[in-house]
Structure 1
Amino acid sequence: MTEPEQRRIRAAYDDGSLVVYQAYPAAIAEPALAAGTFVAPFKRERMTWIKPSFRWMMYRSGWGAKAGQERVLAVRITREGFEWALGHACLSHYDRDRHASAAEWKAQLRESPVRIQWDPERSTRLGPLPHRAIQIGLTGPAVHHYVGEWITGIEDVTALAHEAHALVRDGRPQAADALIPAETPYPLPAALAARIDATG
């Protein structure tokens, strides 16, 4: 795989929106599904991480089996909101090739309501792949925008996660692939790609 493909956002998206994934206990998921956005006991004061990669969400949540992550939610948000988040983001770690100094990075981190991490993408069997998947951490005003403005719908995809997992356990990852929503490279403006250190 060539270097320009290493850190590229892949997502299920259309002209106006895209899907990110989160996993929560039923106590948070049920009110969110009823309201169409996150409401109490969801806490806006805490950082919340969104992930465009279904497989990475499965890796993180253990196919929706880990404690506190039993309900997997597909959250549809506006592309405008998603790109606002990227435009106000800072990498979660210091990179000497991108920052003039650690002090400069720390200053940017303090001012940015969004954190970016690039972690190894996962296969359907949840093994690491050569390219990276993006995780986006929202804090402060970004959480308020997310909950109050960006979310256009929430769908419970826990049953899908369990069905796909059962197929993987049965040695049928290709059948699981057919169930998992297709994710394609997201077209990023050059300025946003540079800000989040995307390479494709």
Structure 2
Amino acid sequence: MSLGSQGSCLGRPSLPSRSLLASFSSGEVTVWRQVGGASRRGPTRGCRLYLSLPSLLHDELVGDGRIQGVRLQRGGFEALLNQAVLDEHAPSLYPCEQSWRLATRFAPVSIRWIQDMDRRGRPLSRQVPLLSLRPAALRQLSEQWIASIEGWRGGPAPALRPYPAPPTLLARLVGRNP
């Protein structure tokens, strides 16, 4: 679901539309993760999951086995979204920056909105979520919610559709007070 421009009320230029687009069925949601290469450049304490495959494809990692499609049970994906805290201060959700910092410090999942790209690395007019999981959320994901993992070897990217999350959840994930 596209939730319009964000950011102008935060004292910075308006950002592209934030869209919770996903490849999903009635029981599963596919997320994408980068393994090896760029993901090994620094220490991480968790895992990063992308909903938009083209955001990773522009790094020219196709055919190298460095991109994985992770099919999650839909209930698990929604649990991740419900645990997510926006990684930027949204005054409409947190009246003071200190309360937001406290929320992000203990959140098992954080969500950051990144510029979506096409396969050639050209920016699109939308932002897509990047979910960062801390160890507890990653453990729960790996033990309970993964249906399958497949290496990405090229070909057309799966179709993305607006994900039917509740409007109050979507508003919170983009930084609006529901």
Partner of 2:28: 17
RMSD: 2.5
Matched, 1:64 2:55: no
Unaligned runs of 5+ in 1: 27-42, 165-178
Partner of 1:31: none
Structure with the bigger percentage of strand: 2
Aligned residues: 159
Contact 1:91 1:196 in 2 (8 A): yes
Partner of 1:33: none
Matched, 1:49 2:48: yes
Question: Which digits, 9 at most, give the CA deviation of each residue in 1:26-78, with x for residues without a partner?
Answer: 9xxxxxxxxxxxxxxxx9x822000110101223xx1217xxx8521111001
Runs of 4+ that moved beyond 4 A: none
Contact 1:86 1:195 in 2 (8 A): no
Distance in 1 (CA, whole Å) between partners of 2:19 and 2:80 is 16
Distance in 1 (CA, whole Å) between partners of 2:158 and 2:84 is 26
AA of the residue aligned to 1:64: L
Work out the percentage of aligned pairs sharing the same amino acid: 25
Post-superposition offset of 1:101: 0.7
Unaligned runs of 5+ in 2: 6-15, 38-42
Contact 1:72 1:156 in 2 (8 A): yes
Partner of 2:169: 192
Matched, 1:141 2:136: yes
Structure with the bigger percentage of helix: 1
Post-superposition offset of 1:15: 0.2
Matched, 1:125 2:120: yes
Distance in 1 (CA, whole Å) between partners of 2:60 and 2:30 is 18
Distance in 2 (CA, whole Å) between partners of 1:71 and 1:3 is 32
Q: How does 1:81-100 map to 2 (within 5 A)?
A: 81-100=76-95
Distance in 2 (CA, whole Å) between partners of 1:57 and 1:149 is 25
Cα separation, partners in 2 of 1:183 and 1:111, compared to 1, 3 Å: same
TM-score of the pair, normalised by structure 1: 0.71
Partner of 2:10: none
